[in-house]
Amino acid sequence: MFLKSLYGVLRQEGYDVDITRHPADAVRMSLAKAYSAVIMDSGNIGFSAHEAAAAIRSVYKGLPVIIAGEAVPSSDSIQVGNPIDLEEVKDVLRSLYNLPDFHERRVQNQ
C-alpha cells in the first residue's frame, strides 16, 4: 500500500519513478540505471533494506537512500519513521534537491 501511494504522490510531484518489490532488485536496478535517490520500505524480504542501502552506498557514495518505516539510525541511509507520512518523504526529497549535486528528478522506489 505504501509503495503504491508513494508512487502516485511522487509522479504528481514530477519525479520519474521506478518500482521494485525487493531490496535485492533495488541494488540491481541502481547498478543498471542512474538514480538521484532510492526509497525503500523497511520490510525485509530476504535481503534487508539496510543491507541493500549499504550495498548501494558502497558503489555510489553520495546517492541518498531513504528507508521508510525505520527509526533505527544508519550511516548508509536516511530514516523516515512509522507511521509513514508521505508529506515527510516529499520534504526529505525536496531537501535533497537543494543539494548542489542533486539535479536529476529520478527516484527508485523499492
pLDDT in tens, 70-106: 666 667 777 777 777 778 877 888 787 765 444 444 5
The mean pLDDT value for 56-79 works out to 79
How far apart CA 66 and CA 88 sit, in angstroms, is: 11
Centroid of chain to Cα 42: 10
In the chain, the domains with their CATH numbers are: 2-109 (3.40.50.2300)
pLDDT category at 58 given cuts 50, 70, 90 is very high
Question: How is the beta sheet containing 78-80 ordered, strand by strand?
Answer: 16-19, 106-109, 37-41, 65-68, 78-80
Three-state DSSP class for 89? Answer: helix
DSSP 86: H
More confident residue, 102 or 54: 54
By C-alpha distance, which of 46, 51, 41, 48 is closest to 83? Answer: 41
Centroid of chain to Cα 83: 17
